[in-house]
A and B are shown apart, each in its own frame.
Chain A
Amino acid sequence: MTNWIKVAQVGDVEEDESLALEVNGTQLALHFTEGEYFITDNVCTHQYALLSDGYIEDGCVECPLHQAKFDLRTGKVLCDPATVDINTYPVKTEGDDILVAL
């Protein structure tokens, strides 16, 4: 039975922006781009930096520290200096609520 946790409301995050969240002690980021929500780990796998402070373009988020790029849908790392993928989490909306499954 999936445990869905409400993390935000529609309108909390603007287009091509991200929001830092902490859920059950895990640092996550909620991203909104091209009309879709994505939730990933918030800490870059290369060095400690928050992807929620980064830059979203073409369905990817770039780390603000050294521009490592990750695919928002799959978490796959796309360029140096990171070499490890980030985790992604299922996200859904119910009315105005945005929920994550951990």
Chain B
Amino acid sequence: MSAVSSILVVGAGQTSAVAVATLRDSGYEGRITVVGDEAHAPYERPPLSKAVLAAVNAEEPNISIKERDFFSDQNIDLRLGTRVLALDTHTRTAHLSDGSSVVYDRCLLATGGKARRLRNLPEEANQVHYLRTLDDARRLRTALQQARNALIVGGGFLGLETASTACDMGVKVAVIDTAPLLMARSVPSAFSKWLQARIETTGTQLYLGTSIANVQLPGNAVHIALDDGTNLEADLVVVAVGLTPNTELARDSGLKLNPLNGGIEVDAYCRSSVDDIFAAGDCTSQRDADQNAFRLESWQNANEQARVAAHSMLGIETRPPAYPWFWTDQFNCNVQILGLPQPGLDYVIRGDMDPAASMPKFIMLGLRNSIPHHALAVNAGGDLRALRPLLEKRIPIDPAGFCDTSVSVKAYSKALLTSVAN
């Protein structure tokens, strides 16, 4: 492997910050250049729909991933408000929007994604909001503080968290989604239905399994007509209908993109189809054990792929990515999920699934032939963590034992692991 003395990271988000920290932690002392088009040093996006949106009196929480002097202390050249316009993969030179060039031995594309736009809800309109960046969140916060009501298009993680925060801010909220079930891409239908019942107890209105027939944007209002004839009106609309990966640079540089999901194709070491170019985070397409392509848009994946890519660029062994894990905080529930949804799972439930409880607490475990493949925990994060080894090691579960609330989940899991070990 050729010597590495210059590494370029395109993108200055979660993946980028973790990748460069990993490079330095691994003993790499060569040049690191990070180029990001936002004006802010790397920050966490999950709080944008929660604490940042809800902030009062400009007391915004600090969401920087690294302390202020981290990049200079670690000799990382952080160029904000700048884009990489082109990559010459033969000379390994990047041409930047500020007129400069960077020669690299290894390049990591951590370009993330952009909120997917709907043509009938243009972002230029004052009343229309897309939420991906800190600047988006600040603009939306100001608008919500003055709004009586809001429409949210999209009933996935982001749409629902935004709805929850807006609801807490005293705004009357309606959520619209073409799917008949909430968070349909991520959870089983039983959970979607429970969540729907819970959200309805808060007065938030849900219009599911319906499409937008017409949009009017007069002055400072939004009028949306649904295909079932319902007419909705609000002060603003937030559109949260998914993420489009930022892959223009990759495409223009000849990297292979996945035709189904649009992500930059990478292998288990985050290598792209072009030598010395790696990709990690929301912009990538990965393959599962059955070679199906998928994009994994999660905070954990950003961190895990960042680590894998950094070690891979240096030619260092790394451990494989952690078992997939997600969380969402909404409507007084910390919901944590282990694993990805898949067909053919039978779910057993431990605890009481009362949608009207002020703080519900239960765990759903999805089994196939007794092996757990998917787990959802509401307000039971410590318990979910205790179950994780059972999913990782594919240990068969006896539903009666799991659901027996006289035994703590930690004790149940420990006993099962011990009996399997013996």
Contacts and interface: CB of A to CB of B under 8 A. Distances in A.
Contacts of B385: 54-55, 62, 64, 67
B381 A65 contact: yes
Given A65-B327, A83-B67, A53 B303 contact: no
Contact of B381 (A16, A64, A80, A81): A64
Contact of A17 (B51, B65, B410): B410
B386 interface: yes
Contacts of B327: 65-66
Given A47-B51, A66-B327, A83-B67, A53 B44 contact: no
A44 to B, nearest CB: 11
Nearest to B303: A80
B44 A65 contact: no
A62 B325 CA distance: 14
B382 A54 contact: yes
Interface of A: 16-17, 47, 49, 53-55, 62-67, 80-81, 83
Nearest to B327: A66
Interface in B55-85: 65-67
Given A62-B382, A80-B18, 11 more contacts: A47-B51, A49-B334, A49-B381, A53-B381, A55-B410, A62-B385, A63-B381, A65-B329, A67-B381, A81-B299, A83-B66
B191 to A, nearest CB: 19
Given A16-B410, A17-B410, A47-B51, A55 B382 contact: yes
A17 B329 CA distance: 25
A90 B329 CA distance: 34
A31 to B, nearest CB: 12
Contacts of B381: 49, 53-54, 63-65, 67
A70 to B, nearest CB: 14
Residue in B327, B385, B414 whose Cβ sees the most chain A Cβ within 10 Å: B385
19 contacts: A17-B410, A49-B334, A49-B381, A53-B381, A54-B382, A62-B382, A62-B385, A64-B334, A64-B380, A64-B385, A65-B327, A65-B334, A67-B381, A67-B385, A80-B18, A80-B65, A80-B303, A81-B44, A83-B67
